[in-house]
Amino acid sequence: MDLIALVMDDHKLHVHRLNWQRLWVAALDDISVTALAWSWDGHHIILGTRDGAVVTVAAESGAVQRRSKLFSDGAAVVLLDWKRTMTQLDSWMRDCVEAWRKLCTEWAKASAQLASFQQTLLTSLENFGESGSAGDLFLALLREGQASDGLQQFLLADLAERGLRATSRAVDIAVLAIHEVLLSELVPTLQKMAFLLAELRGCVDLPDWAASFCVPAAEVQTIETFTLQLLISVDALRRDVVSDGAAYRAIFSWLLAVIQRLSEGLAADASAGAVLLHAPGSSDASPHWLAAHPASDGSVLVHRVASEAAPAVLATAPLDTCPAEAVVRCVSYGSDHLAALGQAPDGGAPALFLSPLHADAAPLRHRDLDDDFQASHVAVSASRRLAFVLSIDRVRSV
C-alpha cells in the first residue's frame, strides 16, 4: 500500500498517497483517537479511542463499519496491531485446492485412454459402413451374443486383449487414486475446517466474546454451512467414484471374455442360437458369464466364460425333440433353467422349450407355436412366470 492515514486535531481522518495527494477525509467529531493502525490486508483502518473503544473504518470510503467497546471508561486504547488471523483455515483451503488438482490430473489420464478407446471404435465402425451407435452394438452383443463385423474388427484387431487390459488398468489406477485423495486428503481437511468454523461461530455468538473477534456471526454461519455442504458433496462424489469404478471393471471384464471367445472361435455367430447369459447369483467384481449354444445331439451346451479361465462346459440342457440346428435363441430362466426357442428344419411350427441346466434331465415342458409365427427372440418376465416370444411384427406370451 502507498497510502498514509493521519488523524488531525480537528478530529478528522485523512488518507493521502505518498505524494500527499488526498484521497478522502472522514469527520470523527464524536471520537477522540488515541491510536491508529492498518489491517494486515490494507482494506481497513482501525482507530483506538480515549473511552476504550476500537473503531473499524473502510480504507476505500472512510465509512465506519464497526465499533467495539473493549475497555471500561477511563482506559484509553494507546496501541493497536492488527495481525492476520485464521491462517490455519487458509492453509487447509490450499490443501483442498491441491488435492482437487491432483484428483483432476489422475482422471485426465484415464479420460485420455477412454477417449482413444472411443475414437478407435468409431473409426472401426465407419470403415465397415455401420451406421448404428456403438451403444446399440454392444447392447446387441450382450443381449444376443452377435458381434457385427466392425465391432469384431475393433475387439480382435484394433483394440485386442492387450489394449483392453491397458485401458482397464488406467481406469482402475485413476479410480483408486481419486478415491484415495478424496478419502485421505479432501474429506479429513473439510472435516477439520467445519469443526473450527463451528467453534468460531460459537465464540462470535457470545456477546462478551463477539467484540474481540470483530467478525459478523452471519458471515461465519454462511461459511460454515457452505463447508458442510461441500463435505457432503465430496463424500457423495467418493461413493459415485467407487460405483462407477465397479461398473467400468465389470464392463472391461465382460469385453475381455468376449475377446477371448472370439479369439478361440467361440463367437456367437459361429453356432446358431449362441447367447451370453449372466451367471445367476454372481456378485463377484469380475462376474462369470454363460455362453449357451446348441449341440449336435439336440441339446444346449452351457459354457462358463470368465477372464481368468478358458471356457468350460458347465451343464447340458436337453431339448428333447428339438434338433440342434433348429435352436434360434436361448435365455436363462430362473436360477438353474434355460428357455430355448426352436424352429423345425422342415418349416414346421416353432416351439418353446423349458429345461433344467443339468445332465440326464428331461425337458420340463415345450409349447408349440403357430405355423406362421416366425419367431426370432425369446425373453422371460421378471417374475419368471411368463415367456415372451417375439417375431418381426408380433409378441406372444407363453
User: Of 135-139, 145-149, 206-210, which gets the smallest average pLDDT?
Assistant: 206-210
User: Of 12-16, 188-192, 219-223, 324-328, which gets the smallest average pLDDT?
Assistant: 324-328
Name the burial class of residue 52, with classes exposed (0-12), middle (13-18) and buried (19+) by CB atoms within 10 angstroms of its CB: middle
Residue 230 has what pLDDT?
92
Q: Is the pTM of this model over 0.75?
A: no
Residue 358 has what pLDDT?
54
CA torsion sign for 185, 186, 190, 191 is: negative
CA distance 347 to 349: 7
For residue 11, give the C-alpha cell.
478530529
Return left, alpha or beta for 214; rule: phi > 0 is left, psi -120 to 50 is alpha, else beta: left
Cell 472391461 belongs to: 252
Reported as type and span, the H/E element at residue 190 is helix 187-204
- Span 142-170, pLDDT tens digits: 877 778 888 888 888 888 888 889 889 98
CA distance 145 to 315: 19
CA distance 358 to 87: 70
Q: In the chain, what percentage of residues exceed pLDDT 90?
A: 7
The DSSP symbol for 270 reads: G
Residue 229 has what pLDDT?
94
For residue 140, give the C-alpha cell.
446387441
Give exposure, 237-263, as e/b (b: 16+ Cβ within 10 Å).
bbeebbeebeebbeebbbbbbbbbbbe
pLDDT band at residue 345 under the 50/70/90 scheme: low
Classified as helix, coil or strand, 274 is coil
How many residues are given for the chain? 398
Query: CA angle 330-332-335, nearest 5°?
Result: 155
Strand 337-342 to strand 351-356: parallel, antiparallel, or no bridges (unpaired)? Answer: antiparallel
Averaged pLDDT for residues 192-206 = 87
CA distance 270 to 293: 10
